[in-house]
Amino acid sequence: MEQLIVEKQILELGLDKNQVIVLDSGKSFGPISIAYEIIGTLNEKKDNAILICHALSGDSHVAGKYALEDKKPGWWDVMVGPGKPFDTDTYCIICSNTLGGCRGTTGPASINPVTEKPYALDFPVITINDMVKVQKLLIDHLGIQQLYCVAGGSMGGMQALAWIINFPSMVRSAAIIASAAYTSSLGIAFDKVGRNAIMSDPNFGSGDYYGRTLPRHGLAIARMIGHITYLSDESMRKKFSRSLQDKDELSFELSDDFAVESYLEYQGGSFVQRFDANSYLYVTKAMDYFDLPGKYGSLEKALKDVTARMLVVSFTSDWLFPTYQSVEIVKALMKNRKDVSFCEIQSSAGHDAFLLEFEKLGRILQSFLGNGRTGS
């Protein structure tokens, strides 16, 4: 198959005051740059666009490569491309880096026009809603009145939920994968410890570490904690068991002995190369704040105006966003007599299943997307 080559684009907003957004905190914020990538062609009616929303550590680079020599394609390349579930021969796939991120969209590492230095902790606390408000500016800019679908896993699913609630007429269908209508206290707990690790790294200072030594240790610890929660007891048993790393016997040293330790060490180390610690603080905080039942009184009330055709998918071994949280969404939609399909996929891969179980998930998504196709 021919290699899909994609390009990151930047939309600059906020040069005039109309493009400054009002955040959920009440603060106005701008200017805003949005990094986004488009794969496939927007048709004349502009009704074949699918917005894919990324998870905590994702970015706009959803599929393809920037150049042939790139080692890896985008994060959901197995799902997005010609003939793939998100079929770029049919659909125009849009993916943008979220507000607060560190991959081109305005975030804490961006320059604060007032101080002409990076925002650092002067960046405002944002919400999933705020991320979606920014995405809407991009969709408006592209002249799209209605998205064929908004889809996302994990935090991406939260954004899709915010879309169908805030802009119901703009979303024809939505796929909520391995996600939830609120972050559980378990999720908040892990996020809190990750933030604590970052903020107690002596290189963190008060977040103003740009151009200096970065709080690598703290961010690596946060990432390692995250990684454990993305796996499952079963997937770790299958993947690592109690195998030793590069040795035949226990070392009787305090250093790493086991393969799972080396794996985490590697994951932590590689993450700090590509992710900004302050973004980790802001994006996890946005997730922790996500609470549709709390905001609307009940999940049923939150979803009452939804018009999108819905797909909800969970995975059996996902203990970070367990099936019961998907079922809560499904039940609330059904009580509102909405069009919803639900599937719990058998998988040992834990939360990461939304990235790994691409065959099972792909078939379900393909069928869901195809069901609503207009023949365009």
Give the catalytic positions in this structure: 154, 318, 351
Task: Give counts: helices (H), strands (E), the chain.
Answer: 12, 14
Q: Does 189 bind its own copies (CB under 8 A)?
A: yes
Using the rule CB under 8 A, is 280 a contact of its own copies?
no
- The piece of 93-101, 131-139, 262-270, 296-304 that touches its own copies (CB under 8 A) is 262-270
Q: Coil, helix or strand for 121? A: helix
Task: Identify whether the C-beta of residue 149 lies closer than 8 Å to the C-beta of residue 46.
Answer: no
Which of 66, 210, 296, 319: binder of its own copies (CB under 8 A)? 319
- What character string, x for contact with its own copies (CB under 8 A) and - otherwise, covers 347-376? ------------------------------
Q: CB nearer to its own copies: give 291 or 339.
A: 291
The two structure tokens encoding residue 102: 């560190």
Alpha-carbon distance of 276 to 278, in angstroms, equals 5
Which of 288, 318, 328, 357 binds its own copies (CB under 8 A)? It is 288
How far apart (Å, rounded) are the C-alpha atoms in residues 195 and 200? 8
Distance CA 124, CA 117 (A): 15
Contact 78, 94 (CB under 8 A): no
Asked if 182 touches its own copies (CB under 8 A), the answer is yes
Exposed/middle/buried for 123, CB within 10 Å: 0-12, 13-18, 19+? buried
* Among the listed residues 190, 271, 354, 368, the single contact to its own copies using CB under 8 A: 190
Minimum CB separation of residue 336 from its own copies in Å reads 22
Give 368's contacts (C-beta < 8 A, 6+ positions apart). Answer: 173, 175, 311, 341
Asked if 148 and 123 touch (Cβ cutoff 8 Å), the reply is no
Restricting to residues 133-152, name those near its own copies by CB under 8 A: none
Whether residue 352 is annotated as binding a ligand: the answer is: yes
Give the residue with the Cβ less far from its own copies, 47 or 261: 261
**Contact residue for its own copies among 261, 300, 339, 344 (CB under 8 A):** 261
Residues 63 to 102 in contact with its own copies, rule: CB under 8 A: none
Shorter beta-carbon distance to its own copies: residue 238 or 363:
238
The residue count for binding its own copies (CB under 8 A) is 60
Residues in region 213-252 near its own copies by CB under 8 A: 217-218, 220-221, 224-225, 228, 231, 233, 236-237, 239-242, 250-252
Closest to its own copies by CB, 148 vs 282, is: 282
DSSP annotation of 258 reads: B
**Contact between 193 and its own copies (CB under 8 A)?**
yes
Which of 83, 143, 202, 211 lies at the binding interface for its own copies (CB under 8 A)? 202
Q: In what order do the strands lie in the sheet with 92-96?
A: 8-13, 32-39, 92-96, 49-53, 149-153, 173-177, 309-315, 340-345
192 lies in the site for its own copies, by CB under 8 A: yes
Q: Does 20 bind its own copies (CB under 8 A)?
A: no
Contact call for residue 282 and its own copies (CB under 8 A): yes
Residue 223 annotated as binding site: yes
Among 16, 83, 185, 337, binds its own copies (CB under 8 A): 185
Q: Are strands 117-118 and 111-112 parallel, antiparallel or unpaired?
A: antiparallel
Separation CA 363–CA 369 (nearest Å): 10
206 binds its own copies (CB under 8 A): no
Question: What sign has the CA pseudo-torsion 158, 159, 161, 165?
Answer: positive
d(CA 156, CA 342): 17
Residue 6 Cβ, how far from its own copies at the closest point, in Å? 34
Q: CB-based burial of residue 45 (10 Å sphere; 0-12 exposed, 13-18 middle, 19+ buried)?
A: exposed
| Residue 215: other Cβ atoms inside 10 A | 26
Structure tokens at 15: 């040069």
Locate tokens 């579930």: which residue?
85
Residues that bind its own copies (CB under 8 A): 24-25, 121, 124-125, 182-186, 188-190, 192-193, 195-197, 199-202, 217-218, 220-221, 224-225, 228, 231, 233, 236-237, 239-242, 250-254, 256-261, 264-265, 268, 281-282, 285, 288-289, 291, 294, 319, 322
Annotated binding site: 223, 352
Annotated binding site for substrate, which residues? 223, 352
